[in-house]
Chains A and B, each alone.
Chain A
Amino acid sequence: MRLSRALFIARKDIAYTLKDKTTLAWLILMPALFFYFIGTATGGFGGGGSDAPDNIAISVPADAGFLSGQLALRLSDSGFNVVTFAADNLEVPVSGGEQDVAFDGYCRRLVIPAGLTRSVQDGDGALLDYSTCTDELNAQFDEVRVQRAVYTTLADIIAASVAGGLNETNIAALNAIERVVTLEVRPAGKKREIPTGFQQAVPGTMVMFTLLVLLTSGAITLYLERTRGVLRRLASAPLSRGEIVFGKWMGKMFLAVIQIGIAMVMGSLLFKVNWQPDFLMIVALLLAWAGACTSFAIVLGSVGRTEGQVSGIGVLSSMLLGGLGGCWWPIEIAPAWMQQLASLLPTGWTMNGLHRLMSFEAGALSALPELMLLVATTAIAGIFAVKSFRFE
C-alpha cells in the first residue's frame, strides 16, 4: 500500500464531491440556517443560555431583619446574582442589577415577607414567595437552588439557636466557619445548566449534519462512481484495492472534517458557542464521530442499489439517529427511555460527550468512554466498509 496513491484518490474524491453545488449548500448554508432556527427556537438569544446571568430579584421589607441578608448571601452562594429591592420601592434596586430594570423585569423573583426574622425568632413560620418565568426544566433547577439557599439559612438558624441564640452575631460567626456538609446542587460537572439555545443547537445540528452530509453526498458519489463504471475502470489501473478503499475513506473523512470545521467556526463567530475548556477533547470526539460517519457512508455507498435508495436511507437514518441521539433537543430533558436509547446510539454518545465537555465542564476525561465507543464504531464499521466495498 502506497500512501501517495491513496492520497491521490482521496484528493480527487473530495474535489469531486465539492464540485456539487447541493453538497456545498448542505455543507455551509443549511447548517447555518438550522443553527439559527433551532437555536432561536430553543432560546438562543433569550434567557436560558448558559451565559445569561442568573439574576434573582428579592423584595425585602424594611422590617425583614438580618435573616433576609443571610438568605441573600446563601442565594449568591448558590450561584445567583442577587438584585435587592426594598419592598416599598420595587422600581429601583437597592443593590445589584441595573437601575432602570424594575423588580417585575426580572424572571426569578423572591418576595420576603414582612417581619421575617422576628417570625422565625418567635418560632412562627414564614412564607417565601418564589416565582420564575424560565421553562420547566430550568425552573425545576432554579427551584432546587433557591430551596438550597433557604435550607442553608434554616440550618444556620438551627445551628445559631443551639450555639446560644439566634442573633446576628452568632449567624455571622457561623458564616465564618467552613461547612462540614454542604449540599451541592448541580449535574455532574462544574456548570449546572442543561444546554439550551445555541450551545445545544450548534453542536447538535453539526453532529446530525456530519452524518447527513456523509450519508447523502458522501455515499451517493461513491454509488455514482460505482454504477457509472468509474470504480471498475479504476480497478484496472495500477492501484491496489487497499489504496482505493483507503483513499475513498480518507476523501470522505476529509468531507466530514470540512463540515465540522465550518460548523465550529460558524458556531463561534455567529452564535457565540463556547468550545472551551476542553477544546482538544472536543476535537478528538468529533474526529472519532467523523470517522464513524465516514465508515457508514462507504458501507451505504457500496451496498445501495439505486440512487434513491442511498439518499433515502441516508436522509432517514441521519434524521432518526439525530433525533433519537439528542441532536434536536438536549436528551437530558427527554423521558428516561429515550435517554437510555440515546446511550446506545453513536449520535447519543457524541452528544453526551459534547455536553459533558461543553456544558457540564466535567473535564476532558469525562468524555473518554464516548470517545472510545466512537473509535470502536469507526473501526468496526470500517471493517464492514472494506468488506462491502464493490467496484461494480
Chain B
Amino acid sequence: MIVVNELRKQFGQLVAAEDVSFTAKAGQIFGLLGPNGAGKSTTINCIAGLLTPTSGTVSVKGHDVVSDPLGARRTLGVVPQELALYEDLSARENLRFWGGAYGLRGQQLEERVNTVLSQIGLQDRAGDKPENYSGGMKRRLNFGCGIVHQPDVLLLDEPTVGVDPQSRERLLERVRDQVARGACVLYTTHYMEEAEALCDQLVIMDHGKIIASGTMDELREMMGERDVLRVSGRFDGQAVRKAFDGMAGVEVLQVDADVVQLSAETATRRLPELLGALAESGADIQETTLARPNLESLFLLLTGKALRE
C-alpha cells in the first residue's frame, strides 16, 4: 500500500529525513515511533504530498506521489499533527466539508457524516463548534475529518497528542476499526506504550534515520534475553558508569541524577550484584523495578537517551 524507498528530505542544510525505506501493507497498523524532531512528520508529509522529497520515491497504492499526486491523494486520508479544522463551523459542517473535498456528495455524504459522528462520539455535540470543545473532542473531530471518505490508506500524525486517557482509548479503538475494514494505517507517535499496544509493524526513527524496524516481537528480540532494571534515588553519574564499566552482560541505558536504567542478562539472578555495585558508587537507592524489555529500553539501548525527552 505505502512504499517508501530511500526517502530523503532536506530543509536547507538540515536533513530532516534520510535513507528512509519501508513498506506498509493493507490491514496493518504501521507505526513510526520516535522523539520530537525525529522526522516522523516530515516522512508522513512526503507521503501525503505536502512536501516534495529531495530524493527517493514514495508511492501509495501504486501511484507515485510526485508524478501522480492526485491519484495518490485519492486513496489517502490524512489526519495532520496540528489540528486543521474550521473552529467556527460545527462538527457536522466540518465533516461535510472534508467529505466533500474527497468527492462525497448528497445522501452518501450525509450517511457517512452521521456514521463518523457516532464513531467519534460527537453525535450529541454535532451542532457545536470546535471552539467550544475540549482538546480531546477536537482531536477526535480532527481524526473524524480524515475518515469520512473511508480511505484505503490512512495517515495519522500523532493523533492522540494532548488527549485525555479516555478519549485516547476511544481513538485507538477507531483506528483499529479502520484496519479491520482493510485500510492501511500509518501511525506516528512518540508514545511507546501506544506503539506497543497498537502497531503490527514498527519503524523507530531518530535524527531523520531509521534506527530499528520490525514487528514488536522482532524488536523485543533485538534486546536479547535482557531485562531492564530501573532504579530511582540519587546518583552520581560518573561513579555509576565506572561501577559497571567492564561488568559482563550489563549495559547502562540511562543515568540521571534521580534515575538509572540498566539492561542485564538474567538480571533476576544478578540483582544483589547489580544493586551492590550501585550502592558502592555512593548511590542512595529508593526504589527498584525489574521489567521485561520494551520499546523504551530498546530506544535507550540504541540511542543512549530516553524517548520522552
Query: Which residues from chain A sit less than 8 Å from chain B, CB to CB?
Result: 8, 12, 16, 19-20, 225, 228-230, 232-240, 391
Contact = CB atoms under 8 A, between A and B. Distances in A.
B87 interface: yes
A237 to B, nearest CB: 4
How extensive is the interface on chain B, given as a class? 20 to 34
A237 B101 contact: yes
A273 B140 CA distance: 53
A233 B148 CA distance: 14
Contacts of B145: 233
Contacts of B103: 238
Given A8-B101, A236-B49, A229 B84 contact: yes
Best-surrounded residue of B74, B86, B98 (most CB of chain A within 10 A): B86
Contacts of B193: none
A233 B84 contact: yes
Interface string B53-76: 000000000000000001001101
A12 B89 CA distance: 11
Contacts of B37: none
Nearest to B129: A19
Nearest to B70: A238
Contact of A228 (B48, B74, B84): B84
A23 to B, nearest CB: 12
| Nearest 4 Cβ contacts at the A-B interface | A229-B84, A233-B84, A237-B101, A236-B48
Contacts of B80: 229, 232-233, 236
B306 interface: no
Given A230-B85, A230-B86, A236 B78 contact: yes
Interface of B: 48-50, 70, 73-74, 76, 78, 80, 82-89, 97-98, 100-103, 145
A332 B186 CA distance: 67
Given A235-B50, A237-B73, A229 B100 contact: no
A234 B98 CA distance: 8
Contacts of A233: 78, 80, 84, 98, 145
Contacts of B73: 236-238
A246 to B, nearest CB: 15
Contacts of A237: 73, 78, 98, 101-102
Contacts of A225: 86
A233 B101 CA distance: 10
B142 to A, nearest CB: 9
B102 A19 contact: no
Contact of A234 (B70, B82, B87, B101): B101
B97 A12 contact: yes
Nearest to A234: B101
Nearest to B47: A236
B89 A16 contact: yes
A152 B76 CA distance: 84
Nearest to B72: A238
Contact of B50 (A16, A230, A236): A236
A136 B89 CA distance: 54
Contact of A238 (B83, B85, B102): B102
Nearest to A391: B50
B49 A16 contact: no
Contacts of B74: 238
B48 A19 contact: no
A232 B102 contact: no
A230 B85 CA distance: 6
B78 A228 contact: no
Contacts of A228: 83-87
B60 to A, nearest CB: 11
Contacts of B87: 228
Nearest to A229: B84
A12 B100 contact: yes
Contacts of A234: 101
A391 B50 CA distance: 9
Contacts of A229: 80, 82-84
Nearest to B88: A19
7 contacts: A12-B100, A19-B88, A228-B83, A233-B98, A236-B49, A236-B50, A237-B102
Given A8-B100, A8-B101, A236 B76 contact: yes
Given A234-B101, A238-B74, A391-B50, 20 more contacts: A8-B101, A225-B86, A228-B83, A228-B85, A228-B86, A228-B87, A229-B80, A229-B82, A230-B84, A230-B85, A232-B50, A232-B84, A233-B80, A235-B49, A236-B50, A236-B76, A236-B78, A236-B80, A237-B73, A238-B70
A239 B69 CA distance: 9
Nearest to B97: A12
A160 to B, nearest CB: 80
Given A228-B87, A229-B82, A233-B80, A239 B101 contact: yes
